Structure formats: C-alpha cells, structure tokens
Structure 1
Amino acid sequence: MGSRRHCIGGLHAATTLLSHAYSLAGTASSFHSSAAVASTVNNTKAFVSKYYELDDHRAIDEFLRRKSLVLKETSTHYVVRDCPFCHATKGRADNLFKLYINKSNGVYICHRCGASGSWFTFKQNLGASNDVVEASMGYADSHQSSRHDVPTAISALDNAKAIALTRNLHDDADCRHVLDYLTTTRGLDPDVLSKYCVGAIQQPFYGKDGESETKWCATFPWMARKVDIAAMGAELATPDDPASSSGVDANLFNVVRLKVRAIDDKSKQRLVPKGGSWGLFGWNTIPHDANSVVVTEGEFDAMAVHQATGRPAISLPNGCRSLPPAVLPLLERFSSIYLWMDSDVHGQESVDKFVAKLGVARTYVVRASGAKDANDALLAKMDLNAILDKATLKPHAQITTFDDLRAEVLDEMMNPLRASGVQSRSIPALNSYLKGFRSGELTVVTGPTGCGKTTLLSQLSLDW
C-alpha cells in the first residue's frame, strides 16, 4: 500500500475521487470531460541542453566560410569579423571581430550588439534549412522534430479518472489477466507497478479492414508538475476548476497524458489525448535530490531497471526514435544519464543522436550482451547493476585512446614486413632498424658535432 500511496498522494483530489466507479469500457474520449488546457509559451525557439557538444568544431568553420564570413581562430573560439546581426560597422577597427563562437558547443555572443544563443539558433538565423539544422543537432527523429514539439494547445487528463486505472489493475477481478501478464510474463512486482501508476483498461482499435476490435490494455501515465510543464514551454491552467487557483502547490503531479498499449499486440497503442503534451513515463518516481537517472527505450524496461537496482529510471515517450526537445529541460539537473536502448538495429541506430542531445560528457551508453533490453535482462536473472556499472561514455570523435591503437600496434608487431615503408637502397642495414620511410612517422637523429648526422641524412634523401 505504501507504493500505491506514493502513486496517488500528490494528485489533486485523487484520494477523494478514487472511490467513485470508473467504467473500463469507456473510450479515450471519456478522459476529456475535465481536461486542463496548456498553451505554448515559447514554441519558436528550440531548447538546446547545456551539455550539448559538437562532434567536430570544424563544422563551424565550414559553415562560416560558406556564408562568406571572415574569421580568425583562437584555441577556444572562432571570432567573426563582421557580426551578421549588428548594424553597419563602417569599417572602424573597434567594431570588428566582436562575435565569438565557442568551438565546443557553438554557443555565440556578440560583444557589440549583444546577440547570443545556441549554434542551432545561429544557423537558423543565417538561413540554414531547418532539416539540416535539426540533423546537425541530433534532432532528426523519424516521428517528431523540434518544430512540432509542443502543440499550440494541449489537454491534460482528469487525474482521478487516470489514476483510477491503477486501482482497476490491482483490485478489479476483470483485470486479473492484465496483472498476471505484467507480473508473470514481464516479471514486474505489483509494488513497482503501483509506484509507476500502471493501470488497466479496455480500448477499441481499428484494424486494416476498418473493423473495430476491443483490446485489454495496460496504461502508462506521463506525470509532471506545473514547474515541469513550464520548463517544457507550456502553461497548465484549469480555469473551470477552483482547485487550480494560485494557492495550489506547484510541486503536485498532474497526469498530462496517458499511453495505452494492448497486452497481446504491441502495435495496438495510442496516446491520450491525441495531440497532447510530451512527458516522461516514471517522472513522478524520481527523487528530488537525484543527480543520476537511467533512460530506457520502453516502459517495461524502466520498471525492470528500478525493480532490479533501485535506481531512478524513466522511459522515452514513444520508443527508440522519440526524444523530443520539449522534455530535455527536465533532464538538465542530472550530472549523469545512463542510456539503455534495445540491442536491435533500430535501438542502436538512435544511440548517437540521443547522446548528442543529452550531452556526450554525461551520457553513459549501456550495452547488455545476451539480452535485447532491460526487461529481458530481468527475466534472464542477469545482474542489472553490473550491466549499468559497465556502461561507457561515447568515444570523442577527435580523441584516440590506447585501446583504439591496440589492434594496429599488434598487427605491426606480427607483420613487420607489411608495415614497412620505402626501403633505403644505399644503406640497406638501416632498414632493419627503421623499417623504411613511412608517412606520418618522425625519426630524430642525434649525436655530437661532426659525427656525420648531416652526411647520413643527405645520403638517405637520395633514396627517399
């Protein structure tokens, strides 16, 4: 019961309204009766994480030169002579080279006109294609982009009705087979299901033939506080509800959306309400002082990780290609993020894009050999803590480690002739020491004055 109270304790009027009957046969439209409304506040400027880093700073150099901008380079910045956002410089020296662009993340600021922002914004302002900009920033998801992150108007669910589904799962005899599926087939504890507020309901789905078929479904709520919704660029308001006055605790969780998925066919799923806000499943379970979180591809995986390790765990909103920029502000407070994607092709294809979004320096990629995902690892009784402890940061594109060189060095030792360069014909004995002249290799010849260094190198220059 402790986990059940954790689930519903922070919801407006939930504890008093859960005793009312809730119809399992109700369709998705039944959730709209007491809907809250959220409108976008900042839909024109995409959010970029402070942890974002460019893979290669030369992309900045190339873009600036394509735009015919004169620049100079320091160890940390590109400095542009003429800021494209400034008024005319009139050729005065003290008006030039005021625009600084950080090499590591592309953040820019002009110390003359005050223009500033992310590399994403800079490219947009200079007329780069939105698709090209989003791809370069890791936003090129198949199903959503930064332009469609937050709709102009969204509806949140009635908390009491949404959370009543959790009671249905645990207390209603008609839902017993749904609970059995989650506990037996998926290996999840009832307390974990309660903590994550998983519920049960019947929903109609339409097949390819247009026929409607009713399916038993598990429900996964996306919860957020008012402060979270504001961070995602929206504002939550329920003008018809007296409880929505300014006196209400902004730290209470509201159900902003519900994911409904059939237990016998994962292709049968929907988000309620259609066109609603984005959110993160399991967000309500994260301790306020947590500085680390596990992000998984699916809801079952997040619960499996938390059940096996006790670590805070959340899931992506809509599978392996869904990390909308709208939810990135929620993740800014974490100093380390463990990204556990499925081991199939689709899951692994998204790893690099998501690491770029979340930040290379704080995102640890989890790889579980022998298990497709975290839920499979739980069912196989694998040590999920050990798997997470072995997670690694994505290698930097411009940094080579000794592990990267190990195979190459071994190959040279095992096959010395294949690694040999251009041989000396005039001093063949030297070939056994230097292995010839090889591109990219530096040989330093030392010795006292008059010992013949210049003579030796002059002779070798005739060969090479």
Structure 2
Amino acid sequence: MFSASIFRSTSNNLLVNSCIPQLFHSFNSINKPLSNKPTLIDPNPPLVGQAIEIKEYLRQNSISFDESWTCIKALCCRSSNRISGVIHIEKERGEFACLKCSTNGTWADFKTQWQHFRTRTYCPKLNTPSILLSDKELQIWEQSKAIQDKDKELVDAILSRYGFTEEYTISNTTLQRYGIRLYEDQLIAPLYDTDRSLVNIVVLDSTSFSDTKSIKVAAPFGLNLLSARNVEIVLVDSIWDALCVYQTTGKIAIVLPNAKFSIRMNMTFEHLRKIHIWYWNDKALSFRLANVLNPHRCFMITYPMDAHTAFKSGHSLKTIVNESFAVINKCIEQFDTFRDLIRDELLQRTRFAGLQWQRFPMLTEILKGHRAGELTVLTGSTGCGKTTFLSEYSLDLCLQGVNIT
C-alpha cells in the first residue's frame, strides 16, 4: 500500500548505510601523495575516528582531559606538590608523549601503561644534553664563532656570494637571532630539536651551493626562537627563506626536516593560533602539512616564487604573508569537518536515537526515532499514502507530547 523513500538531512547527524565504513577505508587508502618529493607526512593516513575512541576511553576510565588543535592532553601523574607533566595524545594515530619526561609510545602502549602513570607521585624531569653533535660537527661548531658587529664586512662579503646586494641583504641582527655563526669564511646554521638540543649543523658553503637554493635539513631550523609567547609562525622551505621572512616581517620562520611529522613536533606547535605555509614549489605538500597541523589555523601562501627570491627582487614579504588565505573557508563545509560524526553514528547509533514511534517499530528501526531540528523528505507516487502516513506519523508523536505544529 505504501511505497516511498525517506531521506533525512540535518546539520548535526547523517544516517547512512552499512557500506560507508568501506568508503572510509577507501578514502584513506587511496589518499596517495601528489608529489614525488620526500614528504613531511605519512602518505598512508589512518582510518578516521581515532579521536572518538581516545576520548571515549578516557571518559570510561575517569581521566580528565583537554582537547587542543592536534592533541588530547591529560596529566602525566597525580603529584600534589610538584608540577605534573602533560601527556599529549595525537588525535589521528594515538601516539603520545610527555614534554617533561621521556614517556612516549603508541595508543596501545598508553592503555597498558596508564595505571602506572596514575599511581606515580611525580613526573620525572628528562635531562637531555644540550649538544648532540657528531665529533666532526662538534669540532666545526667549537671552532666557529658568534657573529659580532665588527664582522659586518666579512658577513656582507659572504652574503654577496649568494646573490644578496647592499640594498637587499641579511642583517647581522637576524643572523645573530637565529644563532648563525662564522666558520672561516663560511656561515654555520644550527639545527635544534623540539627539546632545544643542538642536534645538527649546516655549513652554508657557496662552493657547494652556487645559489641560495633549498638545502635539506635533518632537523628543524628556527625552533630555538619559538617560545610560548609566539602565536604565529611561517613555515618555509629553506634556511635562506626563513632568514628573509623573519627580517622583513618580524614573524618567526621555521624550516622543517624532510621526515615524518612527530608527536613532539605537534606538541611544540600546539599553542600557535596561526600558521602560514610557504612551500611555493610543492602545493600538495603544503596542504598535507596543513591537514596535519589542523587546517583551521593554517594559511596558505601561493606566491609564484620562494621567499628569498622575492626578497632579493624587492618584493614586500610582509604584504605577501599578510595576504595568505585560510585553508578552511568558513562558508564551505568539508567532508573532514563532519566525517567523525558520521562514523560515530554508524558505530554508536543508540547514542543518537531520538523519540521512538510507538506504532511504527520498523520506522524506528530504520531512522532510530524522531530528532528535533531534522528535515525529513517523504517521496512517493500519487495516491501511495503519503498524506495518510504523515497524519499517523504526527499523531503518534503528538500522543507522546511532541509539538507538531
């Protein structure tokens, strides 16, 4: 008698069929990198919904937590008279680490070790060496010297080999701020890890690099400038880009290594509210990086050249950075915005159940009840019983106290 199709649409919940989990898996498995260059991000992202599982587990075990840009944070111990460390749990994969101590591992490790964390009376502070260089690098570092004002002529001569002119050059103040040092007639750039340990150095050798082209770094460059007071940074592709951006804009510019993005790097950037990304020759990598760092705080710079080339050409880097565009447009809804809600409803439908119909058990089984604020579209051929059904539908809800006007 009644033959119709029912579609539901709501801003908060979507009802989809059982094949959607396969769609989620396909969506992630085919998400291959669009660039042949070494990427900062794992090209095989995990299945969505890890954050839901993490928060559900923490609630079930009465663990207080706070949610930030890319991590979920919980206390590392139950100390009453000492400052406790904070465990950061990465939302996508569940990897965790504590900035204060050496505690770290996978989500499976966290679940097996959490009882131990709760019984600890203090969070032991991790003491790491301030310099972690190889013997050869350490020798070069010790023989180098900090740049002083009296070295201006020598520094200008070195910079001129890289194409900088008297009008467009890097100041001694900028070089000193980043810890650039002099080694014979070369410049030495220090690379610091997330714990502020000196882990590597880069010799800016003009005989090996005829121009200021991108030099691959094994560790981040510029992290020694980053502090809790900074709320905005610029991510660039080379050391020279970082120096030029900082000098002209005053914003901290950082170069990231060509390696997988670690949980400790996420923790280091967690307090930042705005991240500009300027990878002019690899747009695909830029957007992948924005996705890892949370696209809601990332802004893309699509200028047709790198920062140091624009600087030497007399372009205003300050204007270029200020004209960066938001990765997430507030007027456009993206799949990433609500995919966790979809998966949560698929796996835990009873949590999203509305008011059940008393006389339509099959309808309740399909739609899980009536939920206020949803739009239900009823379709069917002429005379199939749409109006009759809606009358009975409304009467059922009216008898349960629902305002159907």
TM-score by length of 2: 0.45
Higher RCO structure (Cα 8 Å, ≥6 apart)? 2
- Higher-Rg structure is 1
